[in-house]
Every structure is written in structure tokens, then in C-alpha cells.
Amino acid sequence: MRTSLRHLLAAGLGIAAIAPSAFATSAMRAETTVFKRSTMGQIPNTGATLLVTFAGTPSGTDVANALVGLGRIRQSVPEAGIWELAPLAAATARADVMRRAGVIRAEWSMTRRLAAFPATRRPAIPALAEIAVPSPSDPRYVDGVGGQWSMNTGRWYPSLTGQTRRPIIAILDSGLDTTQNEWKTAGVTVSPWSSSRNIPSAPDISVSGHGTHVAGIAAAPIDGAGVVGVAPASTSHPVMPVQVVLNSRGDSTDATIMSGITYAVNHGAKVINISSGGPGYSQAFQDTVNWATKRGALIVASVGNEGLADNGLNFPAGYDHVIGVGAQCDGVVDPPYCPTAFGRAAFSNSNFSVDVLAPGVNILSTLANGVVDLTEPAGYGRMEGTSMAAPFVAGTAALAYSSHPGATPFQVGRLIELSGSRAVAGFKRNDTAGWGVVSPVRAVKGTAPINDITEPNDDVNWVPTTFNIALPSTSPIKTFSAYADYNDDPMDVYAIPLYKGKRVRVIISSSTAVLRAYAFNGSGRISPRIMTDEGFVRRFEGGTRYATPTKRGFVFTAKTTGRHYLQVLAFGGGGNYTVKLEKLN
């Protein structure tokens, strides 16, 4: 929808004198449209697989009946109503699907690529008490040119691994070579699966041994051989290899990764590492992330290696509730990649998807048998890229889960961010370094923040039917606190049951986040990425119109009897906020 500058200014300034009208509604729609961060990258209009999202969660029989005659159907994330369709007629497939009953969206599955390249040179939950662990005897666990500099910076030490509750780490990648010396012990890997081939096997098929290298960074066992991972694997703390790539080059698709996420969560993984990505937003993928988060899994992803080129926004790192990881250099100044010792690698992308940095240059780890690095013993090699940085954070997440029993993905994610060097130094997040270089020590030993209520509650479909903010006559005022962040969690939705004609005052307060709030009625989703202009105008009941430096508010009248929805959007910054609701009649 085209909107004049006058409309945008009116919405942005929050002029109190403007009464609810078509003008005001248009201005509000313009404001929410500005919120859309997902427009970067090309969205394809054709492909081999459609991701079809239904309004509910139909059975396989119902899906087959709904899409009969359109092509081959396969499960993707049925728990979130998402199915794959290999269409018979690609040119008309999307239009054909959108005409079928119950379908609310159809998106082409996009290609993602591994985010690594060979090394360019060769030099509010308190943490559990620490348990002492002897120093590893693995010969390459040493500092300096020949060892693991990333494990010897003072931010990791063996006793961080002493807890017994470490969750399963799923590595969604090119597979894992379980014949390699450090991965051949029975029990250190569990439930292998190939989502690209639909078989219970996940050998590393990459020409570079990418998946095996990534797995070693996250969790190479302490076994007296080779290297050590951040959260070392054992028979009681296994790694789950999930092969999502389609070929030896390392190409994967949204469909294979989403299917891999579903498999990993359903088989017990609480940390999921994805060291790949590419441009283009998919609402079905975001829904998959939300579903996994709701099930208690934290997803970690690499932000990409285009920092010296187009510096694009890559997904899945760009999705909400995903920890996006950029690459940190080692101690050698080596322009143009590493202009500063231990600084951000210049190839590491810089945008809103960056949450933290982690070691990503000159990283020694395990390699698949047959993949040769001439400067290292067989079975080991060095790579660099944000692919190598992400599993360092995934391992950190697993350790943080183990030291904070009962912690949610939100709490563990915030622990990781709060452990960043910028956060510790008192600086704000930025697009170059996020919250700074992650510290396993601080993440494991820190106190987890208060959990954010009902996360993810990004849209109507994620608000539990039993979770309502009631305003009875006997208690017409309700105040609660939550958390929102433009980069990680920009939207919260709350349900308020009201009778037609009831008036409610909304006041939202935050000293650290730039927030807006809107009220809607009726059924269906209200995300700015999904909602049509027509739906917005029809369901809109009011939005923030007046403001002080730390508060915004408005009054709305319920147009109908039933559930009404308060939507809170973070337009900038992030942090805790308070909502005060007052029923006026």
C-alpha cells in the first residue's frame, strides 16, 4: 500500500489530536509496515518444492485430500501445519495451492549453503556449583599455532563441562563421519538421520568434511586424542547428526533444514546448530523456529561470510529466536580478513542478525576420513568462517542448559548474549559484533534472567487458548512485564477477552526499547509480514498515539464480543517493558 510522507510522520510522531479514522488506520498500517525486516534478499517465484501452510494442523489424510492432484506430498512440520509439495506443474503450482481449502500460505523452498571455507593461512536461574574436571590430555588441546587457540583464551576451561544434565546437540549439516577416530566410539552419536534422503543414516558427504568439522568444534570428546569440543560428547552427552545437504557441495534447502529441525526436536535435541544460510525470508521457516522454541530447543546459526562483498542478510540466522553468530579472528593480524587481532573477521556479515561473535578463523577440528589437510594429521584440519563460529556457541548453549536446570531457550539465549564482551563492558549491541565475543565461562556461571512469558508469542496462533489477560469488573486494572527486542524478539501478542463496547486504556513503558502497540479483533494472524491491508483496516481497533520519552499509550473500544489481541512491536533497541491495561467502563 502506498502511503504519503504526511501519513508516516503522523504515525511516527504519535499526534494525540488525530481521532480514530480511516486516516489514522492508514497511518498505523504504514507504521507497522516499516517494521518489516524480512524484505532483504530475493524471494523466489518458482522452484522444486512448495512449503504449504494450513490454517490448523490437519492430518495426513486431510492434507492429501486438500492437495489432491497437485503433486507428491511429504511431511515438513505437521505439528505447525506445514507440509511439502513437489508440484506436477511448477508454473501454476502456487496459485493452484492457494485455491485449496484450508491453505493460508505457499512458499518456494529456497537453497541454503554452508558458511565455511578452507583456512587461508596455517599458523534468573542461578548456576549450579562448578564440578572439577581434569585438564584434557588430548594432544592438540594446546594454545598457539599448532593447537586450539579458541579453547585457550580464558573463556573456557574443563570444569565447565562437569554437570550431568547436558542436552543433546543436533548438528544439521553435511553429516558426520562416525569412522573418524574421535567419533567412532559407540554412543557418542545418537539417532542419525538424513532429511534429504529420508533414511536413518547421516554420513558426511561434503567434499570438505564440513559437518564433521562443525561437530568437532561443538563437541569433540575428551578422549586423549586430537581436539576437544566446547561441550565434549560422551555416551551420556551425545551428538545427533542430521544430514540436511543434498550434494557434496553442501547445498541444502529450507525443506530439508525444516524437516531436520522437526526430527531433531522430536528426538530430544535441545540445541540445534545450523552452519549454513542464504538470502530470502520464509514465514513457514519462521513458524518452524517458533515451534521448536516452544518445544524447548534453541537454534544457533551462522550469519554468513559476505562481509567483504554484499554483506547480505542470511537465514536462518535472520529469523526471530535464532542466535546469529559472526566470526572472531585469532591473534594474528592478517588483512583483509583479520585487520585486528582477536577482532571481528572482516568477512563476517554485519547486520541485525548478528547476536554474538565466536572464534571463526584458523579453527582446528575433526575432519572426515579421506578429506586431507596437508598441514595436519589425518582426521584433522583447519577451516574458517561463520560456520566454525556457530558451533562454538552451540556448545556454549549446551553447557548453559546443563548448569541451569529448567532454563528455557529464551533464558539460555539471553545468557549467551549477556556473556558477550560488549554486554559485560556495558555497551549496547551493534550490527557489527552483536553483544560481542561470547564467553562460555560467563554463560555457564551467570544467573539466567527471568523468563519471558509464553514465548514465543509472536502472533495469534502462538498464544495458548488458555492464556488470557482478563479484566473483570472486580479487578479492572492489570499490569505485567515482558521482554522485546528488535533483533531477536520484536513482536509479542496477548489475548484480552472483552464484551462489545468495552473501552480499555493501554500504557506501555520501557526505558531501553522503542515500542509501539496495536489492538485488533477477530480471528487470524496479525503479523505485519502476513496481514493484508484489508485485514488490517477491518480488524484494527487502535494503536499508540500519545507518548512521553519512556511511555506510549492509547484507548480502544471493543468492536465485538470475544478475544481481542494486543500486539507489541519493538521498532528499535530492546529490553524489559511493562504493560498496564485498564478497563474504563
The residues annotated with a catalytic role in the active site are 173, 210, 387
From CA 462, how far away is CA 294, in angstroms rounded? 9
Peptide bond into 490 cis (omega under 30): no
Would you tell me how many other CB atoms lie within 10 Å of the CB of residue 530?
A: 13
CA distance 289 to 410: 13
Strand boundaries in 247-378, DSSP class E: 252-253, 269-274, 276-277, 298-302, 322-328, 356-359, 363-366
Peptide bond into 167 cis (omega under 30): no
Q: Quick one: cell of 511?
A: 526505558
**CA-to-CA distance for 351 and 313, rounded, in angstroms?**
7
DSSP three-state, residue 544: coil
Angle between helices 210-219 and 386-403 (to 10 degrees): 30
SS3 call for 261: helix
Q: What is the DSSP letter of 242?
A: E
Spatial contact of 173 and 244, defined as CB atoms under 8 Å apart: yes
Cβ proximity of 1 and 33 under 8 Å = yes
State the cell numbers at 524: 487470524
Sign of CA dihedral 59, 268, 399, 357: negative
Three-state DSSP state, 75: strand
Q: Which of 317, 327, 314 is nearest to 433 (CA)?
A: 327
d(C-alpha 22, C-alpha 537), whole Å: 8
What's the start-to-end Cα distance of the chain, in Å? 36
Q: Is the peptide bond before 126 cis (omega within 30 degrees of 0)?
A: no
Output Rg (C-alpha) for the chain, integer angstroms. 24
Longest Cα–Cα distance of the chain, Å, equals: 77
DSSP 130: P
Q: Kind of pairing, strands 82-87 and 71-77?
A: antiparallel
Retrieve residue 348's grid coordinates. Answer: 563476517
Residue 536 and residue 549 in contact, taking contact as beta carbons nearer than 8 Å: no
The β-bridge relationship of strands 380-384 and 363-366 is antiparallel
Helix or strand or coil: residue 217? helix
Helix, strand, coil percentages, rounded to 5, for the chain: 20, 25, 50
Q: Which of 391, 409, 176 is nearest to 292 (CA)?
A: 409
User: Are 358 and 275 spatial neighbours (Cβ–Cβ below 8 Å)?
Assistant: no
